[in-house]
Every structure is written in structure tokens, then in C-alpha cells.
Amino acid sequence: MDYTTQMDAARKGIVTPQMKIVAEKEHMPVEKLMALVASGKVAIPANKVHTSLSPEAVGQDCRTKINVNLGVSPEHNNHEEELQKVQNAIDMKAEAIMDLSNFGKTREFRRKLVKMSTAMIGTVPMYDAVGMLEKDLKDITVDEFFSVVEQHAEDGVDFMTIHCGMNRKTAQRIKDNPRLTNVVSRGGSLLFAWMEMNNQENPFYEYYDRLLDICEKYDVTLSLGDACRPGCTHDATDAAQIEELITLGELTKRAWAHNVQVMIEGPGHMVLNEIAANMKIEKRLCHGAPFYVLGPLVTDIAPGYDHITSAIGGAIAASCGADFLCYVTPAEHLRLPTVDDVKEGIIAARIAAHAADLVKGIPGAQEWDDAMSKARVDVDFDKMISLSIDPEKARRYYESSKPECEGTCTMCGKMCPARTMKRILAGEDVSIR
């Protein structure tokens, strides 16, 4: 192999097998794709070890992708249930799955996940450190942190969320400017605590080149985590968030110098009128790197419905430049999501992503909507159902309330405007009795 990473290959003018697949999926000339990968504006997360992967591109001029979070915890550690979620995510065409397991035999589950998944796999090694090393957080050494990262890379993980940007300067900013919800990032809070207890710099910031060496070796895309993302609308776009984002922009350029692909993670919770500005700030400060957002959740008062608050924010964020949406389920803030919660979260995120792709003018997006509209004009319910984002639910709803008049639904019956117009324009009489 004459290249180390997808970025290295693009810069050398080498078309990789992954680029060929992605270019076809995106309806994009491979030469354009190569230029975007070479510049860092598009990432193709594809660990060399992940042989079952069907690669995807994240970034400029590409379809908005979605990620599904899953994984066991000490309170809920049913591996079979998590694998069912994995299969559902793959069946529902999620492009990425993040294993956030933080308990038990994480490596066994992770390897099984990588082996079965055609979707790209992400992890947060910090979550795994305490359980894998079986040590108190304070006693973990720098070398041990990096040993966990190396193990995840060896196992075939395509991208890793690592909170490199929260250095001691940013940590001080948090202490000097108290927040309503402090640090809500799990990985970020663990690093913050480790730094405070040991009076040391963030090891992933201090020894960043060591991290880049691991990523380059396996072609792991570095997802630069936002430890200071706002955990409530009150904290959005504050000093700590922007301080960290500036640092992430600097770290992005250093990663690119190592031919390491980068994504930037973003908010969080944020009111509607701040979203567009935040997308522009990220793209400017981080040099056009792909932007991966959690939500944003546009209000804090809807536990049980946060897949909706997230989809609202995600649609706006992606239409304004975000490239990758992390789904949120109805269980957010309340419990580990069930299989049904995961499905609800995926559907909500896919709706948001497609809504944004219509704005972006992504090839095929408008054509999908137009095909649905044509089916409605033709009063073709079978076609409508097959084109829907969740055909199973659409068919279940339609068949649960059958109309007396075939070719209509129980909302309008014979007064269906599509039926009326189809008949009258065909020169037929219209009867509604």
C-alpha cells in the first residue's frame, strides 16, 4: 500500500477502493471527492482493520449522515439487546454506530460489532478506561490512557471521540465562568476530574502527536470531542465553548499535517436563533472540517420527547452546514434506550438529515420527495408506503383504519382532493355520496 490514510492517498492522487464506493453513493466525480478529502473538508472514516465496512463520506457536498449511540452500562448490560439495536440500525440505514459501552467485556462486544457492521464504528476510549484497566480514575497513567486508544484502533474502530481540546486553560475558563450545567460531556467530565485530581494537563492535548501516530497507523478518523458543549440552552455559545472550539481548530491543522482525518463535534443544547451562527463559527474556526452535532436540542423541557427537540435543531444545523447528526432518542436524560427508543431516534434523525439535504441540494433528495408527491397525486397508497422513511409504520397505520371507498383513507374518504382532481381532470364525474 502506497498510502497511510484516505487523506494521504487523496493528496497523492491515489483513488482508493473506499473513494470509488463513496463517489458512487454521493453521485460525485471521484476527482472532486479526492480534492475534498485532501483538503480535510470531507472525511471517509475507514479503519484498515474494518473489512466489513461499506464506507461513507462525511462533509461538504455529501448527504447528511446520522449516528446511532448504543452500548452497555453497569446498570444495564444485556449484550444481546445491544446487538439487536445494532442490527436494527444497520437495517434502517444508519451510516454510523457508536459503541459507548463502559462496563464488562467491552472488547468482546466491540470486536463482534466491528465484524458484523457495514456502518462505520465509533467509540469514546475514555469511557472504557476505568472498566478495562480496573483502576480508579485518579490512578490511571498517561501510558494506560494511550493503551486503551491503541486497543480500540487495533479492534477496527473507524473514528474515536477524544476530548483533546479541553486543556488546563479551558478548564480554568469553566471555573472562572460558572455554568448552569457545568460539563455534561461524560468523557469531558472524566478528563476534567483526572486533570484536577492529578494537577496535570490533559494527556491527549499534551501528547497529541502520540495520538496522531496511532490514528495515522490504522487510519482512524479523529472526532475531536466537545467537552464544553452546552448542556442546556442557558450555557450555549459561552466562553468555555468558544475557547475549546478555537483550540480544536488548531488541533485540526496539526492532525491534517499528519494525514489524519478529522471531524469536529459540536453542541449540545441551543436555542433556535443561535444555531446558524454556531455552524458558521465552527466552519470558520476549524477550517471547513466536517461538523458532527448532537442535536442541537432546542429546548430543555421535553424529557421523553427529546428525539423531537433534537430533530428540530438537527434539521436547522445541517441545513446551515453541519454534516453529521448524532441521533437522540426519547429516552435521553432518562434511561438507557430500548430497541424501540433506538428506532424512534433513528427515524427522527433521518427525517432531520433529509430535510437538510433538500436545502443543500443533495442529488436524489428532491427526487425522493417528488416521487412521493407523484404517488399521492395518483392516489397510490402502496407506492406511498414503499417510498416512506418508515414503510412498516406507514402500512400499519393505513391498514389499521381501512376506508369504505378503495383508494382513499379514512381522513377524507370520497372527499379526498387527490381523488377528486384525478377524476375531474380525466373527464370523469365526481361523486361524494
Contact criterion met (CB below 8 Å) for 244 and 170: yes
Distance CA 257, CA 192 (A): 28
How many helical (H) and strand (E) elements, i.e. helices and strands, does the chain have? 19, 10
CB-based contacts of 88, cutoff 8 Å, min separation 6: 339, 342, 343, 346
The one-letter amino acid at 82? E
- List the binding residues for Zn(2+): 269, 333
Distance CA 46, CA 48 (A): 6
Contact criterion met (CB below 8 Å) for 168 and 155: no
Distance CA 323, CA 314 (A): 10
- List the binding residues for [4Fe-4S] cluster: 409, 412, 416
- List the binding residues for substrate: 69, 98, 127, 163, 185-187, 226-229, 265, 292
- List the binding residues: 69, 98, 127, 163, 185-187, 226-229, 265, 269, 292, 333, 409, 412, 416
Distance CA 98, CA 39 (A): 26
Ramachandran sector of residue 219 (left: φ over 0; alpha: ψ -120 to 50; beta: rest): left
Contact criterion met (CB below 8 Å) for 381 and 399: no
Using the 8-state DSSP alphabet, how is residue 49 labeled? T
DSSP character string of 293-361: EE--BS-SS-TT-HHHHHHHHHHHHHHTT--EEE---TTTTTS---HHHHHHHHHHHHHHHHHHHHHHT
Contact criterion met (CB below 8 Å) for 322 and 357: no
Residue 97, beta-bridge partner list: 68, 121
Distance CA 125, CA 422 (A): 58
